[in-house]
Structure 1
Amino acid sequence: MGDSVRNVVSGGRQETLIQAGHIEHLVVGDARTAPDEVTVAPPWGDRGTPLRGREELLERLMAAPGVHVLYGLGGVGKTSLALEAAHRHRERGAPVWWVAAQDGTRLSGGMRAVARHLGATDDDLAAGVTADLLWQRLDRLGGPWLLVVDNADDLGLLDGPGRLASGTGWVRPHSAPHGLVLVTTRDGDPAGWGPLPVLHPVGPLARTEGAQALHDRAGESAGRPEEAARVAVRLGGLPLALDTAGRYLASVNERPPFLRGADEPASYAAYLAAVGSGDLTVDGDGTLARIWDMSLTLAEARGHTCARPVLRLLAGFADAPVPLRILDPARIPEVTPAGLWGALQALDRLGLAELRDRDGEQPVVALHPLVRDAHRTDAARALAEDLAARAADADRRPEDPARWPFWSLLLPHLLELEPEDGSPEHLWVGALCAADHLTRAGAPERGLAAVRPLAARAPRALGAAHRLSHWARTLEVSALLDSGRAAEARTACEALLRDCEEHFGPDGPVTLRTRHLYAVAAQQTGDVAAARDAYGKVLEVYVRLLGPTDRHSLATRHNLAMLHHLDGDPAGARAEYEAVLAAETRTLGAEHPSTLTTRHNLATALADCGETERAVAEYEAVLEARTRVLGAGHRETEATRLMLARTLPR
């Protein structure tokens, strides 16, 4: 044999057999993994201000031995919650071990260190059954103890020597009567964890608790609690963002005023204004963005390659839940239906988005406002607006109360539409549908605010004779009428009627609908003669072209009956209302809004004819139906409630 060689092996033991003919120097693992360089002490220095908004969950955890998983969005305060649980165990004299699980090296090294704390020797650990040994020793502990496994986002690492979901990984169920295991993670997928641990979602803080958390950091100089609450809402109750904002304000207020920059807000109000104007970025150093990017990288590593573009798309919508049905995969680049659903599920499990489908509601997906801000791009916004507008254009039933649950979800996204010259027609349709829905759903002032700029732009952008230009101006008149501004409505409608006669002819369908609207405006301004003349001309054409029971004919007959009533002929009005009501019930249905309006007015005519008992019965029936169909707070429901109160015998 040749000269002997002294081989040197350094680094932590890995239970690995190495066989070679000639080794001069070998390092097993990284020096950071050496047992004497692993700490399992909790990061007590990170525990500062009081933990807000988690007391109920914390009490449940303290009272429930076993394995519990705290999952949620990065920055939501999972580690802070676990640290508070560690503090309470320490106060009771119970042992606490804290294992970092960002990577396999720290996880396995930490678990080995815990085993050593429990009396395991190097020879025990060298046997290659560290996980089994660790949990056997934990099972035998009779008193309270806490093991925290922090930042366990990659569940594959928790498999360790076995399989996490089967109870053979690094984290396992145990039989210790007072032992508590807390795992913090972004991943709340029940399939990955299996049936053994209890999963607890950790969400953002509510308004009051968020304000308290912010005030704890910012101090008294930043302003009043109600101002802190407004900032907390803007930051979406995310504890890390609240902590960042509070530290910023506290830092500014530590300096004398003359040493502060003009662009450095020192109060809650100034901070909120700076964030709103874009002069101040909440995530100034990019901490939150890096945390969330780690989650996206993890989703992509699991095969959800669409996760990042889908998140960007969701960020393009308004700050409101997005109905899943408007996410058309055919119009989203490089996304398949299966890929879209998989990405949504992955984003939900990692806390970046929240899928909701509870109590029979329409399924939606929601983003935290700061996640939305961090991923919003102009291209994503354009695609989101296109999808929302196409959904509105395909439905086009904002007036139907049965469709209102969908339209109430779609509305915030449509209100962001600002069609201009060159915009495709479906963007105009979406924006106009939003205004129409607001007016019909009982918010005419909001409907007017939404439609007025559209009515001003459409004739220039589309042409005065374009159907959408006319629709926009018609919606403006309707919103004015429903807002009680009849004189303005009549003036606007007179101009619109002249243009319709020029562009569509005196008896064209568009002109007839506009003349009917003019009659309503004339009636509301007290000009009964002009209203009767306009209604008569419209009814004659409708009956000739469409028949006496068409909904347009019936609506006009209903309004002529109202004029009879105004002329002091409640008996004549009652007879006409009854005839219209019978036809509307057959053609529109007993609970169509128009049918209910006719029935309401019939009750009024009955009361004026002295038939109080029958009038009360009609009002009660209409009130019940309107409450169910339109909602208890709708202005038409409230009108029926008022008339019933006035009619009830005293």
Structure 2
Amino acid sequence: MRSPFKRRWPWIALAGVGVVALGWNPAAEGIASYINSDLSDRDAYSSVYALPVSLLSLLVAVIGLTFQSKQARRVEKEALISADQPRAGMTSLAVPGLVGADQIRGRDRVIGELVHLYERNADPALRVHVLHGMGGVGKTAIAQHVAKVLRQRGITVWFISAAEASSLHSGMRELAMSLGASSYELDREWTHNAPDVLWRRLKAYSRRWLIVIDNADDLSALAPVNQTVAQRNGWIRPTGTRNGAIIVTSRDGTKSSWGNWCRMHQIGILPVADSAQMLIDIAGSNCGSKEQAADLAGRLGGLPLALHLAGRYLADARLVPVSGQITTFTDYHAALDRHGVSAVFPDGNGVMTVARAISVIAETWELSLTSMERGGRYKARNLLRLLSTMADAEIPYHVLLDPSEMATSDMFRGLTPGRLRELLQSLSSFGLIELKVDGEVPMATATRDLPLGTLSLHPLIRDVSRHHLRVGGNMGAAIEVAARLLHRAAIRYDDHTEPKNWPVLKLLAPHPLHLLTLAAAESDLRAEVTSDLTQAASMITRYMAAIGLYAAAVSGAKLIRDLAVGILGEEHPDILQVSADIASFTGGTGDVHSARELYAGLVLVSDRVLGAEREESLMYRSNLAFFTGVAGDPAAARSQCLKLLPVASRAIGVEGNAARAIRRNLALFSAELGDFEAAQHQIEALNRFYGNNEDFSMIVFRVRFACRIGRSGDYSSARDQLVELLPTLRKVLGANHPETLIACSEIANLTGSAGDYFSARDQLVELLPTLRKVLGASHPETLIAESNFAHWVRRSSDGSPQ
């Protein structure tokens, strides 16, 4: 609450009261004289008293207007807070929940400085604050606490994880999108200098804002190649305004890397008193005295994560007390002593190294894991370490963790669905993982009717678990199990064009490429593991293309090829398929000429390595024909398809996918050339062999076919076909999917071609902003729509009859 001494209206009111008090006696005498005077004398008095009466009235009016202005500003501020929030995207920018972030011990100074960033007396130059220190000291908890406080005060807060380069880039991209960045900025400019795009939008943002960048341990991900954050060209820069501020959490506290325009806050271990109180807050006062809590806190080195895990263990143990179980601070302290961890605590000067911190935390949760295994929940360590190989993102455990597949490994021999469920619930109850269902409902209240189960690990638990895998020489075995699980999930949800699979694919998306990166660093992995991961990661890029993110799909596919080619070789079938994906996605961005050239080179290699009559080779040739046609040579495209169809029908059958794709191309380019009889013949064959279904590929084909009918001059028929398709497009693909937008653009153009220039103009006026945002201002379809709009504006304004 704002102090009353900082408000203006109480002083105005007090001044008014003072004026009235000082002038009361003279005013009273004057008023009495006025009342007792004759009517003829009152006119003389009126001119004398009119001025003070007017001044008093003016004072009352000023006070009233001040109150009204204050109330209006408050209403306006509340309206802005409720109506001007940036829209959410695929990547959440909301402040995540964290147990313990609401009440933080021993951090009053830094929290006080950060929550007053937007006060008038705050330093306008130091708007970037870096919380640095070893893992587990509570940097994230401090940042989350400050973010929540400031959000409650009306500040717009965005929270972005930098634990993985992919999560940092996707978070920054979503932030730019939330700030109104166009599709051209997000696709074309983004590939050249994404930070410039983001900062241009931030500087145009009118409200007060805060960006929290969490776990920015790899500073190279924050700045361009061969530069540092201090050079101000990366994601983190001076804000240049009091409206904005940035808080970064990182293990790297090197001042020269951050720059003198960053305010550095070293976050260390907690003092004993605060550590003890934190233990009592979490475990409860029934676990022992404050002195006993202080002894245990000192033994744990004052590391907040270790304190949290120990307190959570004791709190859970006391819920269902069992004879012989550890339930007090003293028991826990004695258990640590028996395990011989005296060497992992602070040395003489009270400094704890990262290595010692890792050992402390490992010993802390080892008690929890031992307790689980003694209770019959075996393999808890192995499950935690398996999960640690995944990306720093939510893990869809209901899709990924297949107990029958896991049981084929020595790590999980004998695992059953029931035992897997017990393991997950136990890890969750001991605070080692966080379980959710449908992304919202805690596991404790979940039912079987909620299918989307996810889990997440604390980053430090993930780091230390990976450390154990490397030290124990088990990283390769864990990666092999994870690769098989991801490959199995990829097969289960391999229909990336099916919208009902998209929620699951979205959750799976960060993990295959991350695991492929881990696998590439292992020297003794079998090639089959890399193959499994390459196929799983490629499925994710195809999903991205299916939802219209062609540029991102191209980048992902290129990275997959770079990581896998050194192990599999340039002519491995998986690498050839990734190359085909790159070509297709490139065509999806609108660069159809480059796509044609990429396929032209690919088919030569595929024919030689796989054989010209393999289905993969036939599909590559079909796609080469398609991009040949859309690049401007429909006659050559049809000729290629006519030669290819008999080969495909003989080699894989008339009902094979390659034959189906070739027939679609024949229909398209026959219509393009005006041979509608041949086109109709292929459509009838498609319906005969595959049925008149409404899958992704057939819907897209029907859109393209109708467009080609329109280009032949049959405007009304083509428009009617597209109008009939539009509800299906919106239902299956979504209103803003590129194929839906292309259909809407073509409907408008066909409407104008049929003579209704005004309707065509109005339709394009409404459609063009969405085309620019989704496809990009330089995309061929956007440029066509811009040209058509200008044409129909001229036709509708020159008096031409409709």
Deviations 1:590-634 (Å, cap 9, x if unpaired)? 221121122213432454566656544532443322333333332
**1:168-187 map, 5 Å:** none
Over 3 Å counting, the alpha-carbon distance change for 1:545 and 1:215 in structure 2 is: closer
- Deviation, structure 1 residue 268: 5.9
CA distance in 2, matches of 1:204, 1:620: 51
- 1:627 pairs, out of 722, 730, 746, with 730
- Deviation, structure 1 residue 547: 4.7
- 2:680 pairs, out of 575, 578, 582, with 575
Matched, 1:77 2:175: no
**1:216-295 map, 5 Å:** 228-231=210-213, 262=256, 286-294=303-311, 295=313
Aligned to 2:494: 397
**1:518-533 map, 5 Å:** 518-533=624-639
- 1:413 pairs, out of 504, 511, 528, with 511
Deviations 1:570-609 (Å, cap 9, x if unpaired)? 74476246425533651xx622112112221343245456
**1:192-591 map, 5 Å:** 205=144, 208-209=147-148, 228-231=210-213, 262=256, 286-294=303-311, 295=313, 296=365, 297=367, 301=371, 303=375, 304=377, 306-324=379-397, 325-328=399-402, 329-330=406-407, 331=409, 333-334=411-412, 336-337=415-416, 338-358=418-438, 360-369=450-459, 372-373=462-463, 375-377=465-467, 382=479, 385-392=482-489, 394-395=491-492, 397-401=494-498, 402-416=500-514, 417-418=516-517, 420=520, 422-424=526-528, 425-455=531-561, 461-567=567-673, 569=674, 571-572=676-677, 575-576=680-681, 578-579=683-684, 582-583=687-688, 586=691, 590-591=693-694
**1:54-203 map, 5 Å:** 74-77=99-102
Aligned to 1:601: 704
Q: Secondary structure at the match of 2:590?
A: coil
- Deviation, structure 1 residue 562: 2.0
Which TM-score applies when normalising by structure 1? 0.55
Contact 2:551 2:589 in 1 (8 A): yes
Deviations 1:352-392 (Å, cap 9, x if unpaired)? 43322238442222335565456544556736742553324
Q: Secondary structure at the match of 2:434?
A: strand
CA distance in 2, matches of 1:391, 1:414: 12
Which TM-score applies when normalising by structure 2? 0.45
Q: Secondary structure at the match of 2:494?
A: coil
Contact 2:395 2:508 in 1 (8 A): yes
Contact 1:385 1:413 in 2 (8 A): no
Contact 1:73 1:350 in 2 (8 A): no
CA distance in 1, matches of 2:571, 2:650: 26
CA distance in 2, matches of 1:611, 1:227: 54
CA distance in 1, matches of 2:733, 2:153: 40
- Deviation, structure 1 residue 288: 1.5
CA distance in 1, matches of 2:741, 2:635: 30
Answer with 422-431 or 318-327: which moved more.
422-431
Contact 1:448 1:480 in 2 (8 A): yes
Structure that is richer in helix per residue: 2
Contact 1:210 1:232 in 2 (8 A): no
Over 3 Å counting, the alpha-carbon distance change for 1:469 and 1:77 in structure 2 is: same
CA distance in 2, matches of 1:231, 1:510: 44
The aligned length equals 421
Contact 1:581 1:595 in 2 (8 A): no
CA distance in 2, matches of 1:268, 1:213: 25
Over 3 Å counting, the alpha-carbon distance change for 1:499 and 1:226 in structure 2 is: farther
Contact 1:357 1:364 in 2 (8 A): yes
CA distance in 1, matches of 2:142, 2:733: 33
- Deviation, structure 1 residue 517: 2.1
CA distance in 1, matches of 2:567, 2:104: 55
Q: Secondary structure at the match of 2:548?
A: coil
CA distance in 2, matches of 1:647, 1:264: 57
- Deviation, structure 1 residue 508: 3.7
Q: What letter corresponds to residue 647 of structure 2 in structure 1?
A: V
CA distance in 1, matches of 2:508, 2:665: 33
Deviations 1:318-338 (Å, cap 9, x if unpaired)? 122212231234247257333
CA distance in 2, matches of 1:269, 1:642: 51
- Unaligned 5+ runs, structure 2: 1-96, 109-140, 156-202, 218-245, 267-299, 314-364, 439-448, 760-802
Q: What letter corresponds to residue 326 of structure 1 in structure 2?
A: L
CA distance in 1, matches of 2:681, 2:248: 71
Deviations 1:114-170 (Å, cap 9, x if unpaired)? xxxxxxxxxxxxxxxxxxxxxxxxxxxxxxxxxxxxxxxxxxxxxxxxxxxxxxxxx
Q: What letter corresponds to residue 384 of structure 2 in structure 1?
A: L
Contact 2:527 2:568 in 1 (8 A): no
CA RMSD, Structure 1 to Structure 2 (Å): 4.5
CA distance in 1, matches of 2:424, 2:564: 37
Over 3 Å counting, the alpha-carbon distance change for 1:319 and 1:388 in structure 2 is: farther
- Deviation, structure 1 residue 538: 1.0
Q: Secondary structure at the match of 2:509?
A: helix
Over 3 Å counting, the alpha-carbon distance change for 1:545 and 1:333 in structure 2 is: closer
- Unaligned 5+ runs, structure 1: 1-71, 84-201, 217-223, 236-244, 253-259, 273-282
Percent identical residues: 22
CA distance in 2, matches of 1:630, 1:601: 15
Over 3 Å counting, the alpha-carbon distance change for 1:270 and 1:443 in structure 2 is: farther
CA distance in 2, matches of 1:646, 1:320: 44
Contact 1:474 1:514 in 2 (8 A): yes
Over 3 Å counting, the alpha-carbon distance change for 1:77 and 1:490 in structure 2 is: same
Q: Secondary structure at the match of 1:403?
A: helix
CA distance in 2, matches of 1:347, 1:268: 39
Contact 1:564 1:570 in 2 (8 A): yes
Q: What letter corresponds to residue 479 of structure 2 in structure 1?
A: A
**1:24-63 map, 5 Å:** none
Contact 1:570 1:609 in 2 (8 A): no
- Deviation, structure 1 residue 231: 3.0
